[in-house]
Amino acid sequence: MKVLRTLVVLILLSVAATGMAAENIYQKGANAYNSGDYAGSKALFEKVLASNPDDTYALSYVGACDLALKNVDEAIATLDRAAGMLDAEDEASLLVWVHDLRRGAFLQKGDTLSAIDALGCAIAIKPNEKYYYDARGTLYQNIHKNVEAIADFDKVLELDPENANAWVGKGYVYINMHNRDAAVDAFLVASKLDAANHEHWESIANDVKEMQFEAQNTEYSRDLSPDEDYELPVFVGGRNSFKTYLAEEVSKRIGKDYEGKRVLVDCFINEKGRVTEAKIIESLNDVADKIALDICLSLPVFRPAMYKGEAKACWLQVPVEF
């Protein structure tokens, strides 16, 4: 009997030690991830998966590490698997995090619609979390799904009536919709709610008041009437020189990974011919988008748009080709 009791105690101690060891790996892996050691974190969680391939906590962290390490395809595959295994009730917080990671991975691939779907999954689990509505509204705005964007920003304001970011988002959507008055009002509300950036949003509202919204969109320019009294902004040297300039700037910043692709940027050129604002209309991925915005925001001074001999501010769509 004494031998049996000793054996039982040893077994229980062994089980406890195994549990503590696993818990220790989880903690070490999470700490490594939080400190930026993504390769180390991934190695630790892969040890867990070696003994338990269906460990959803470890799967989620491996996917997060792959995303941080720019292994985007591997990250999507792992995160998709984790999302399919996690329980929306018992593991809600972890599942929402996984969907947010999926959003980031899809954006790195330039797949905005899949990123929107991932945010929709997160919202279905946590319908009162304003962050996900704001993020999805911004993505809808970027691809000119204006009705959906307004609905998401309105939901943010329902959850948080003092949210300045939602009013900023609505302002940009109203610009997409060529609704000048609504855009001005939205930016003015944002300026009152966001004291730290009051002057900036008020300045944007004033710029919007000067916009011209008569024309149909084209690939190269918009917002000026085709009336013969209007003249579009002109790059020094003309259109061919502009294309050459863009190509040279792209070549300085990136290799051939994105060759044959493009990012479409909307540039606001003020009455002095300077680009004062730029936003993505057609996205490729975070890296290419940032390069395109940097190039557009540092463009040389244009000859501004003219109407009946008077300089006018307007939007100009610039295709940045890689």
Indicate the range of 117-131, 180-194, 239-253 predicted with least confidence.
239-253
Pairwise CA distance, residues 189 & 181, whole Å: 12
Q: Evaluate if residue 11 carries a pLDDT over 60.
A: no
**In contact, 271 and 313? CB cutoff 8 Å:** yes
Pairwise CA distance, residues 60 & 80, whole Å: 9
| Domain locations along the chain | 1-127, 143-209, 230-321
1-127 and 143-209 in the same fold: yes
Q: Which residue has the higher pLDDT, 48 or 216?
A: 48
Q: Which residue has the higher pLDDT, 12 or 251?
A: 251
Mean pLDDT of 7-22: 42
CATH topology of domain 143-209: 1.25.40
Q: Evaluate if residue 223 carries a pLDDT over 50.
A: no
- pLDDT tens digits, one per residue of 149-187: 999 999 999 999 999 999 999 998 888 777 788 888 999
pLDDT averaged over the chain?
82
**In contact, 239 and 290? CB cutoff 8 Å:** no
CATH topology of domain 1-127: 1.25.40
Q: Which residue has the higher pLDDT, 311 or 102?
A: 102
The set of residues, in sequence order, having a beta carbon less than 8 Å from that of 49 and lying 6+ positions away, is: 55, 58, 59, 62
Share of the chain above pLDDT 90, in %: 39
Q: Evaluate if residue 213 carries a pLDDT over 60.
A: no
Placement of tokens 């988002």 in the chain? 169
**Tokens for 35?**
């400190």
Pairwise CA distance, residues 71 & 79, whole Å: 12
Amino acid at 181: D
pLDDT at 228: 46
3-state SS, one letter per residue, for 253-277: HCCCCCCCCEEEEEEEECCCCCEEE
pLDDT at 227: 44
What SS3 class is residue 222? coil
Placement of tokens 């307007």 in the chain? 314
Alpha helices for the chain (secondary structure H): 2-34, 38-51, 56-68, 72-85, 92-108, 112-125, 130-142, 146-159, 164-176, 180-193, 198-209, 239-253, 286-297
**In contact, 118 and 84? CB cutoff 8 Å:** no
- Residue closest to 226 by CA, chosen among 237, 239, 217, 234: 217
